[in-house]
Structure 1
Amino acid sequence: MKTKTIMQVGALALTLMTSSVMAAVSQQEADQLGTVLTPLGAQMESNVDGSIPAWTGGLKPGAAPVSNRFLGNPFDGEKPLFTITAANAEQYKDKLTPGQMAMFKRYASTYKIPVYTTHRTASAPQAIYDVAKRSALNTQTVDSGNGLTNFSETRNYAFPIPKSGVEVLWNHLTRYRGLNQKRQITQATPQVNGNYTIIEFEDEFAFPQYMTGVDKEATANIFAYYKQRIVAPARLAGNVVLLHETIDQVKEPRLAWVYNAGQRRVRRAPQIAYDGPGSASDGMRTSDNGDLFNGAPDRYDWKLIGKKEMYIPYNNYLLGSPSLKYADIIKPGHINQDLTRYELHRVWEVEGTLKPGERHIYAKRHMYFDEDTWQLAEVDHYDGRGQLWRVAEGMSVNDYEQGLAYYASMNLYDLIAGRYLIQGLNNEYKQGAEFGLKPKASDFTPAALRNAGIR
């Protein structure tokens, strides 16, 4: 009887352990990376009819001329294969999101999706491919997917061979962003009539593995440091946000501070998370709308629906060109779709549903992740009534010089208000993002904020 009880207790303990720590993949599965799968976990082969080609390594440095750190367009001169409009959208419905279909309905006379030849341009440095394979073998989720363990030595692409929805989400959160960088970007929230004010930001990203003077043990749960300073307009200039982005934000919540230039005070800012208001966004986005989604995943249940082929924004080099002015891009209702590029790609489809008892203005988030880069491409946001509310599109670009994916712009369309937010433009600056900086850990402390906020 005693032996039986011990066995039952042991079995229960094993069950609880299994539920709290999910196993990494086997060596046999990991060996598919770079053979059957791309080094980051996408299907390497083409689709059945060849409209999605096989991945052959992506773009390499020098794929097009670079000027003042602005990428040239490797596909300059290509014309759309066809254009989807409100008149023919039903014909392509199986490869469009509900949000895209809603945009055709809301802006029937102006919204369009120009579809181009598919190019699988994603690439990364070999060192990052090696990291992804180590992550596959070692990284595990804890606390039902809310955190990671065995990840501090790799820090990128936690689950290149995902088994669940939350693991797909973690790949977006931990994708390679390049070396430490500094960039200038703009944001606008156009009114219904198209009028807008430009908000200018200066962003700095730094990662512990690429920094000097960092305590390895103290930063084991730090994924990145992020500092954002508002440059214009004058009424907001000098305000600064500082984030220490943790890997397990439930165990150790994101650390955030703000410096208010008018008050000359540094304060903790726990509101910069979840559905707290986004910086200078006129209420048009939440904090976790940045990067299409960021932060802790713990308030949602994440269901992996599967893979499908969809028309998503891809290779938007034209949209990021310095030859354009913001006025060329920002139009009433939505951006100038004539400047956009969509391609047919395979995506991972994940649905996030707000957990009972948790709070967020979005009751459901329907997400579509590009299989080659793990970067979010489309997100549909539903309110508490189950009504489709906001539609997010990430206008992706593959940086062939740095080996990473980023957004030429992030657009969040409010279907009810008829307004939108656009973030990430840099067309009118003198140069693009600067990579390879060597900041110190002391540059990302609350004490350093006052210097960063000098007008």
Structure 2
Amino acid sequence: MTHQQLMQIGCFTLSLIAGNVIAAAPADQVARLGADLTPVGAEKAGNADGSIPAWTGGLPTTAGNKDSNGFLPDPFASEKPLFIITAKTAEQYKSKLTPGQLAMFSRYPDTYRIPVYTTHRSVNLPEKNLVTTRLNAAETTLIEGGNGLEHYHPGAVPFPIPKDGLEVIWNLIGRYRGENFKRIVVQASPQTNGNFTPNVVKQELAFPSGLTDYQPEEMANILSFYREEFLSPARMAGGVLLVHETINQVKEPRMAWEYNAGQRRVRRAPQIAYDSPAAEGMRTLDDFDLFNGAPDRFNWKLVGKQELYIPYNSYRLESPKLKYTDIIQPGHINQDDTRYELHRVWHLQATLKPGERHVYSRRDIYIDEDSWQGAEADAYDGRGALWRVSEGHASFFYDVKVPSFAAETHYDILSGRYAVNSLRNEEKNSYEFNVPVSRKEFTPSALRVTGIR
């Protein structure tokens, strides 16, 4: 641990003693982090029958070396499925499946399957993040109404020992995704026959404290900066989106701008939020990442913890040996390339508040306890019928200790179409972590330069 981190912990301890900290969790609860709980709040112990093992530190950074194209080797490549759940056997496993997964078996009885493998708790995070998480546990609080945070240190979960559903959804929003990163990934919205046009997108995410020109006072209410540029197809190339995600979204809502390459104009884009359609109408904007943005239109109920078969350690799905045509199939991605494991998840149920507007009346989100990433999400239409089923196929960059997705899928079980994003199988060195970036790269004026074609 660095001298600076030790100083942070020392200052944090002194402030507790002085009684100057508004504690989100009492000191005896904070002390559980790293004891019976992992440093980010998951249960260290395994489950009763041992099918979920104890957390022992996750995969080491030395588990494998990247190849020349930036792909890590699969640490579990030699493993075979313990069993494969099909439409014929789904009923016997229903206690460990979501309603959305069961609906997928009903919609695609001949092709949808869930291959279940041995569970590995592979996630671990950098020491700096663990220090920040501990600070947040003792200091971070929700603002009145829950639509923002106070005393929050960005780059880590705000509530590792959550008390309610709002705290859990803020953990998903604020979780660790690396310091700064750039990536080039592919997304597609195939037709019902499987035909698709790959959209190649360059995406950049940065946190204020990771900028080369960080200004604490000016950026005090910024959670993150996000920029997205379409590289292909030609009809979309040059379009750029910029988002400033805020911490206190009552004080200052999300700010967004779009650059239209055809018009060569930058415009404010207040519609980049909530239920605005995306991916050819196959998902909403706040479906991305299984949930993003302001949580204020829903009431969030924490149903509790449960054990589910969720996509995990999806190294095979992101293998460079696969082509996008191997993965993207009619109805759903090729499930033969997926991997599911039994893990504990936080189950949230969000119901639309009276008087608020959204295309979803309810959404259930299942969040992995070790990474705070979304794993499964079910969305219901205004009539209360299940409409969309989302899955986050978790992967883990163990060399830099960053959880991520090999793919993110959003299935419309009514239309038979879907959207998939975050694919990188045919891209070379698509991810760059800890990239030096400045505030100037995330300004509206920078969009014009980026988007010129």
TM-score per shorter chain, which class?
A: over 0.9
Q: Deviations over 1:66-98 (max 9, x none)?
A: 113212100011000000000000000000000
Counterpart Cα distance in 2 of 1:158 and 1:354? 24
Counterpart Cα distance in 1 of 2:221 and 2:111? 46
Is the 1:211–1:440 contact (alpha carbons within 8 Å) kept by the matching residues of 2? Answer: yes
Counterpart Cα distance in 2 of 1:422 and 1:410? 6
Q: Deviations over 1:386-409 (max 9, x none)?
A: 000000000001211121211111
- Which among 417, 420, 445 is matched to residue 419 of structure 1? 417
1:422, distance to aligned residue in structure 2 (A): 0.3
**Aligned residue identity for 2:283:** R
| 1:214 and 2:214 correspond | yes
| 1:268 and 2:243 correspond | no
1:62, distance to aligned residue in structure 2 (A): 2.0
Is the 2:165–2:300 contact (alpha carbons within 8 Å) kept by the matching residues of 1? Answer: yes
Is the 1:134–1:154 contact (alpha carbons within 8 Å) kept by the matching residues of 2? Answer: no
Q: Which residue of 2 aligns with 1:300?
A: 298
* Secondary structure of 1:144's aligned partner: coil
Q: Which residue of 2 aligns with 1:86?
A: 87
| 1:321 and 2:299 correspond | no
Counterpart Cα distance in 2 of 1:193 and 1:84? 24
Q: Which residue of 1 aligns with 2:115?
A: 114
1:144, distance to aligned residue in structure 2 (A): 2.2
1:437, distance to aligned residue in structure 2 (A): 1.1
Residues 102-181 of structure 1 correspond to what in structure 2 (within 5 A)?
102-151=103-152, 153-181=153-181
Counterpart Cα distance in 2 of 1:321 and 1:451? 34
Counterpart Cα distance in 1 of 2:345 and 2:239? 38
Q: Deviations over 1:274-330 (max 9, x none)?
A: 01122xx11111111111110000000000000011100000011111111000100
* Secondary structure of 1:290's aligned partner: helix
Counterpart Cα distance in 1 of 2:164 and 2:109? 36
**Aligned residue identity for 1:295:** G
Is the 1:46–1:52 contact (alpha carbons within 8 Å) kept by the matching residues of 2? Answer: yes
TM-score, normalization: structure 2?
0.94
Residues 7-156 of structure 1 correspond to what in structure 2 (within 5 A)?
24-67=24-67, 68-151=69-152, 153-156=153-156
1:23, distance to aligned residue in structure 2 (A): 5.3
Counterpart Cα distance in 2 of 1:368 and 1:200? 28
Counterpart Cα distance in 1 of 2:145 and 2:399? 37
* Secondary structure of 1:145's aligned partner: coil
Counterpart Cα distance in 1 of 2:271 and 2:436? 29
Q: Which residue of 1 aligns with 2:198?
A: 198
Q: Which residue of 2 aligns with 1:311?
A: 309
Residues 424-435 of structure 1 correspond to what in structure 2 (within 5 A)?
424-435=422-433
Q: Which residue of 1 aligns with 2:6?
A: none
Counterpart Cα distance in 2 of 1:69 and 1:298? 39
- Which among 353, 357, 360 is matched to residue 359 of structure 1? 357
**Aligned residue identity for 1:416:** L
Moved more, 141-150 or 157-166: 141-150
Is the 2:154–2:207 contact (alpha carbons within 8 Å) kept by the matching residues of 1? Answer: no
1:377, distance to aligned residue in structure 2 (A): 0.2
* Secondary structure of 2:289's aligned partner: coil
1:438, distance to aligned residue in structure 2 (A): 1.0
Counterpart Cα distance in 1 of 2:302 and 2:179? 31
Is the 2:125–2:401 contact (alpha carbons within 8 Å) kept by the matching residues of 1? Answer: yes
Is the 2:129–2:155 contact (alpha carbons within 8 Å) kept by the matching residues of 1? Answer: no
* Secondary structure of 2:283's aligned partner: coil
Counterpart Cα distance in 2 of 1:164 and 1:421? 31
Q: Which residue of 2 aligns with 1:438?
A: 436
Q: Which residue of 2 aligns with 1:247?
A: 247
Counterpart Cα distance in 2 of 1:381 and 1:47? 29
Counterpart Cα distance in 2 of 1:428 and 1:177? 22
**Aligned residue identity for 2:399:** E
Counterpart Cα distance in 1 of 2:216 and 2:240? 26
Is the 2:38–2:55 contact (alpha carbons within 8 Å) kept by the matching residues of 1? Answer: yes
Is the 1:248–1:296 contact (alpha carbons within 8 Å) kept by the matching residues of 2? Answer: no
Is the 2:154–2:174 contact (alpha carbons within 8 Å) kept by the matching residues of 1? Answer: no
Counterpart Cα distance in 1 of 2:105 and 2:345? 21
Is the 1:69–1:434 contact (alpha carbons within 8 Å) kept by the matching residues of 2? Answer: no
Q: Deviations over 1:2-28 (max 9, x none)?
A: xxxxxxxxxxxxxxxxxxxx9500111
* Secondary structure of 2:213's aligned partner: coil
1:250, distance to aligned residue in structure 2 (A): 2.5
* Secondary structure of 2:384's aligned partner: coil
* Secondary structure of 1:310's aligned partner: strand
1:431, distance to aligned residue in structure 2 (A): 1.5
Is the 2:191–2:330 contact (alpha carbons within 8 Å) kept by the matching residues of 1? Answer: yes
- Which among 326, 346, 349 is matched to residue 348 of structure 1? 346
1:241, distance to aligned residue in structure 2 (A): 0.2
Count of aligned positions: 432
| 1:393 and 2:391 correspond | yes
Runs of 4+ in 1 over 6 A off after TM superposition: none
Give the gaps of 5 or more residues in structure 1: 1-21
**Aligned residue identity for 1:39:** P
Q: Deviations over 1:350-394 (max 9, x none)?
A: 100000000000110101000111111000000000000000000
Q: Which residue of 2 aligns with 1:450?
A: 448
Moved more, 437-446 or 57-66: 57-66
TM-score, normalization: structure 1?
0.94
Is the 1:242–1:257 contact (alpha carbons within 8 Å) kept by the matching residues of 2? Answer: yes
1:441, distance to aligned residue in structure 2 (A): 0.5
Is the 2:23–2:137 contact (alpha carbons within 8 Å) kept by the matching residues of 1? Answer: no
Counterpart Cα distance in 2 of 1:140 and 1:36? 23
